[in-house]
Amino acid sequence: MQTGGKIIKDLQSAGGPILVVNRVTDVAYGEVVEILCGDGTTRRGSVLDISDKRAVIQVFEGAHGLSLRNTSVKFLGKTMDFTVSKELLGRVLDGTGQPLDGAPMPFGGETRSIYGSAINPVMRAYPEDVIETGVSVLDCMNTLVRGQKLPVFSGNGLPHNELAAQIARQARIRGTDEEFAVVFAAMGVKHDDADFFRNEFERTGALERATMFLNLASDPAEERLVTPRFALTLAEHLAFDCDMHVLVILSDMTNYCEALREMTSARGEVPSRKGYPGYLYSDLSEIYERCGRTRDSKGTITQLPVLTMPNDDITHPIPDLTGYITEGQIVLDRELHQKGVYPPINPLPSLSRIMKDAIGEGKTLADHPNVANQLYASYSRVGNIRALAAIVGADELTDADQRHLKFGDAFEAHFIGQASSERRTIEDTLALAWKLLGLLPTQALHRVSPEELKVNYKSISEFEEE
Amino acid sequence: MMSTEKAESVIIRINGPVVMADAMGYANLGDQVKVGHEGLTGEIISLENDVATIQVYENTIGIKPGEPVVTLGIPLSVTLGPGILKSIYDGIQRPLHKLEEQSGRFIGRGLTVSGIDVEAKWEFTPVAKVGDKVAALSVLGTIPETSLIVHKVMVPPNISGELVWVADAGEYAVTDVVAKIKTDAGEKEITIMQHWPIRTPRPAPKRLPPKIPMVTGQRVIDFLFPAARGGACAIPGGFGTGKTVTQHQLAKWSDVDIIVYVGCGERGNEMTQVLDEFPSLIDPHTNKPIMERTTLIANTSNMPVTAREASIYTGLTLAEYYRDMGYHVAMMADSSSRWAEALREISGRLEEMPAEEGYPAYLASRIGEVYERAGRVQITETNGDVREGSVTIIGAVSPPGGDFSEPVVTHTKRFVRTFWGLDRDLASARHFPSINWLTSYSEYDVSEWWEGRSDLSWKDLREEAMGILKEDDRLQNIVKLIGPDALPDRQRIILETARMIKEAFLQQSAFSDVDSYCPVEKQLAMMDVILYFHEQANKSLASGQTLHHVIGLEVVEDIYRMKEAIGQTEIEKFTELKNEIEEALGS
């Protein structure tokens, strides 16, 4: 790296976030640069495409205001890296890992490439420890497992931030009081959203075991492309070197993908679906797959990416490709939100792919899998009956159908719905589930075993809160 | 092998996994190359004037123009020899455990590891004798590779002549010469270890028609939608449809000798589950671990996209190698959709003109090439001995948004002859295996094979059963509107028989001791019983009996219980059951 600090003045073109520099030698793919502007300010960037004649540079702050004649580019002779240490917990940083809280960067630590490397599949361990989030509809029906990546599919105006903050605050390994270290990466979020998280973490004292990386909506879009990588580099250090359990919240992945699209179209790359680059899947998997457990360390990384579905469309490339990499999804529902249900998680399209191996006898509760199946089946039937009732009128329905309607309303209000400060244990959640199932006739409960019915079922006609 | 090395070849451009190098005019298209000071593995995918475009199988961050590029002078190849079985590889046949020894929990760059252990000693026993005329694929000697599989050291496909020396029985490393052959082009030394380029199909001396079923012991597959040995099958990989259990059942029970499993672009945690579970599966025929006859290839979604593209070919080449020894091989690819996405991604990097949904225009031909590598072949030794081997491909497809009209699925369906439509509704109704009998199909005609198994005609029984299932589907639409009571008895008995086919025949528990595997003779007898009941019930109804009486008979319960109550070999009990039916329903 003896070439660090080489300055080139020969700029060929500037446009959008892209700067093309001529006559470069000995510059690496992915190398970090400093752009020295005519007015004495500097910007940062990295090399996106390098040939023996020219380098294509992505400028984090955008190329706007640069002149081809007065600007020079300093190649720093290293690729983008980040010096990580445990001391970064409790700190607020910008999207490229620089302090925002006025304090200096901690001394020492290990310098890592932010791009990381793939975990060797034979070194992975299968996730199996249930995380109790205290949110009933998650814990019972879409259980989060330590080492899992479970995204929140949301829409504009839905309370995904409250939910993410609640999970960060309440998450515990079942049966322990062990708390998670939280690495929070904000990409292109609004100023007040970032403040919300910061205040939440400060108010609850969570900040001391959290690190925040903030790239706000007003910050350069190009910076968003590296923010999750900085965050995950720290998370990997905390988990695999310091044996900590880390919860990574990435919000909002849609902004990340938009920034990627912006960058690739500025470079004139061949677009794929909806203008996103063809490699969006691999790019996202490089982020999402930086999570899990390994055989040789105690720590884990659990990822909770948040993304807002453009126009609530779950088949949009961003949620679609995300769903193919992550182990399920939590889907927020506008209709539930409009009914005033918090958190408005719709259990029907939501899914946790690896919960089946983590719940049940000896892990959570013996009747957990069947109760989860039963709630899913019954609530799914409620949807059909509501559709029917809209046509023929509720009075025409059979008694069993009427009872399902009653169950559906109570299920939404009391099981899905809970206060944002409420933390329910899995035992509470399952007791509540059995109480709600009491609204249904036993003939409609096929997914639970007769023995389970005998022990837990008690028919009720109205649900009353205790 | 290294003779073509020229120092002046250097990188002139880097764009993600695509690298261009100058002064490469002497290299061949498809050559394997080492890129940069770290020696990253790559492959030449196009040549123009003196410039080679290279796809690199590792992350290129930090590499500079001006760094050297060295061609190995051979196409991207796999190493063949004993030790492939029981291994777990990445997409370009690097053993993952060896990578872990070198770089720990993360996969480092520029690691070169041989696909098979060059130091291990193997017990070689010569089969051929000096003076024998030998040709391509002649067996020179054998090596016990695992407790289940005898490895055959063969003459490479492009060599023939007279055997002038063969090693004595004893312990050899894979790099040792074990035979010398006098050919027209001089004497050739044959080592145990051989190489084969992954993108070139190994020559199939004589292809046999896919008329023999790959028997799986799963009734819905063998009886309704059979896979042929040497055939190609597709299975949609939707979540919650019981795909994993179905795959495990196929791995455990299929009458194949070798299993090659390619995890192509799958989730890391799910790959871990496969890597954890396969070694714990026990082969029910031999009571030995299935790994004794399995090789796993794991290339998760975050490992380099180019290696994902290569992984399918790596798997195919390994499968073909064992086929040539005379083994029946099943190659499972999970998922071929991720592989197609890798093609799309690399094509985009090469700035090729995209066709449908951004996929390159050659998508269909590539899919076709892959599935064409399935096949059943016959190899004739120079002394007249004949052996038979096959490669059967079972490809999972996972269409985005569950859309079966997207290009990968539609093109795949053109090249496979068997489609097992896993169905989420069936799975949630606890109907396993959840293979939908209306959307699935098999075009393999294996009736000749079935004819020899029993006096019963498989073709007739299958046709009749399918007819009842189709009629049932039509009637169910009516039932939804007006209820079953409105149908006449002769139609309601169709509903009842269809229910019997679904529950007593198609449903099969993977976890039952008796029923996990169902021999074909039992399959035939079971269906015969059900259709006999249908025939007798119809007669009985015609003579004035009520439906209520017919379906309330005790013998109906016996039919529902027969899969568990009657053992795998107790075929004569089905005749007794038929007698009981006749007694109960007889006039």
Q: What is the DSSP string of B545-578?
A: --HHHHHTSHHHHHHHHHHHHS-TT-THHHHHHH
- Reported as a pLDDT band with limits 50, 70 and 90, residue B305 is confident
DSSP, residue by residue, B460-528? HHHHHHHHHHHHHHHHHHHHHHH-GGGS-HHHHHHHHHHHHIIIIII---TT-TTTSS--HHHHHHHHH
Considering only CB atoms, A122 lies closest to which of B100, B106, B304, namely: B100
Separation of alpha carbons B527 and B450, rounded Å = 14
Q: Residue A293's closest CA among B276, B334, B299?
A: B276
Helix (H) or strand (E) holding A23: none
Give the minimum alpha-carbon distance from A41 to chain B in angstroms, rounded to a whole number. Answer: 27
Mutation site for A-interface testing, chosen from B64, B67, B97, B406 by largest number of A Cβ within 10 Å: B64
Mutation site for B-interface testing, chosen from A112, A119, A120, A351 by largest number of B Cβ within 10 Å: A120
Q: Which of the residue ranges A285-294, B3-12, B546-555 would you say has the lowest mean pLDDT?
A: B3-12
A25–B239: do the CB atoms touch at under 8 Å?
no
- Reported as a pLDDT band with limits 50, 70 and 90, residue B4 is very low
This prediction has a pTM of 0.90
What's the Cα-to-Cα distance from A34 to each of A58, A70, A223, A226, A359, rounded to whole Å? 11, 14, 14, 16, 51
Give the minimum alpha-carbon distance from A330 to chain B in angstroms, rounded to a whole number. Answer: 15
- Rounded to the nearest angstrom, the gap between the alpha carbon of residue A435 and the centroid of all alpha carbons in its chain is 33
Angle formed by the axes of helices A399-410 and A426-437, nearest 10°: 150
A354 neighbors A124 (Cβ within 8 angstroms): no
B13–A52: do the CB atoms touch at under 8 Å?
yes
A324–B400: do the CB atoms touch at under 8 Å?
yes
For residue range B366-411, what is the model confidence (pLDDT) as tens digits?
999 999 999 999 999 888 899 999 999 999 988 776 677 889 999 9
Separation of alpha carbons B445 and B434, rounded Å = 23
* pLDDT values of chain A reduced to their tens digit, one per residue, 466 residues: 334 578 888 889 888 888 999 988 889 998 999 999 888 888 889 998 899 889 999 898 888 888 888 899 999 988 899 999 999 999 999 999 999 988 999 888 899 999 999 999 999 999 989 999 999 999 999 999 999 999 999 999 999 999 999 998 888 888 777 778 999 999 999 999 899 999 988 888 888 899 999 999 998 888 899 999 999 999 999 999 999 999 999 999 999 999 999 888 888 887 888 889 888 988 999 999 999 999 999 999 999 999 999 999 988 989 988 988 999 899 999 999 999 999 999 999 898 888 888 899 888 999 999 999 899 989 988 988 898 888 888 888 888 889 999 999 999 999 999 999 999 999 999 999 999 999 999 988 888 888 999 999 999 988 887 6
Strand partners, A302: A247
B285 neighbors B230 (Cβ within 8 angstroms): no
A121–B300: do the CB atoms touch at under 8 Å?
yes
Separation of alpha carbons B246 and B431, rounded Å = 12
Query: Average pLDDT in the B35-48 region?
Result: 91
Separation of alpha carbons B188 and B186, rounded Å = 6
User: In angstroms, how far is the first alpha carbon of chain A from the final one?
Assistant: 68
Which tokens is A65 given?
Answer: 């205001």
- Contact residues, chain B, for A353 at CB < 8 Å: 239, 270
- Residue with more model confidence, B143 or A23: B143
Q: What is the pLDDT of residue A2?
A: 39
Burial of residue B353, with CB atoms counted within 10 A of its CB: 0-12 exposed, 13-18 middle, 19 or more buried: exposed
Q: What is the pLDDT of residue B441?
A: 94
B128 neighbors B190 (Cβ within 8 angstroms): no
Strands A300-308 and A152-154: what pairing?
A: parallel
Give the Cβ contact number of residue A94 at 10 Å: 18
What's the Cα-to-Cα distance from B125 to each of A3, A55, B191, B546, rounded to whole Å? 59, 59, 14, 72
Backbone angles phi, psi at B51, to 5 degrees: -100, 130
Listed in order, strand segments (DSSP E) in A16-97 are: 18-22, 31-36, 42-51, 54-59, 72-79, 81-84, 92-94
Judged against a pLDDT cut of 90, whether residue B506 lies above it is answered with: yes
Backbone angle region of B131, left / alpha / beta, with phi > 0 → left and psi within -120 to 50 → alpha? left
Give yes or no for A161 touching B (CB within 8 A): no
Q: What is the pLDDT of residue A394?
A: 81
- Reported as a pLDDT band with limits 50, 70 and 90, residue B2 is very low
- Contact residues, chain A, for B13 at CB < 8 Å: 49-52
Q: What is the pLDDT of residue A188?
A: 92
Q: Please, which residues 313-352 of chain B have a Cβ atom closer than 8 Å to chain A?
A: 341-342, 344-345, 347-349, 351-352
Angle formed by the axes of helices A227-236 and A253-266, nearest 10°: 130
- Reported as a pLDDT band with limits 50, 70 and 90, residue B472 is very high
Alpha helix stretches (DSSP H) within A183-246: 191-203, 227-236
- Contact residues, chain A, for B261 at CB < 8 Å: none
Query: Average pLDDT in the B267-289 region?
Result: 86
Which tokens is B205 given?
Answer: 């001396």
Q: Please, which residues 294-333 of chain A have a Cβ atom closer than 8 Å to chain B?
A: 294-297, 315, 320-321, 324-327
B415 neighbors B232 (Cβ within 8 angstroms): yes
| Domains of chain A (ranges, CATH numbers) | 6-79 (2.40.10.170), 85-354 (3.40.50.12240), 368-456 (no CATH)
For residue range B194-218, what is the model confidence (pLDDT) as tens digits?
999 999 999 988 999 999 999 999 9
Which tokens is A70 given?
Answer: 């007065």
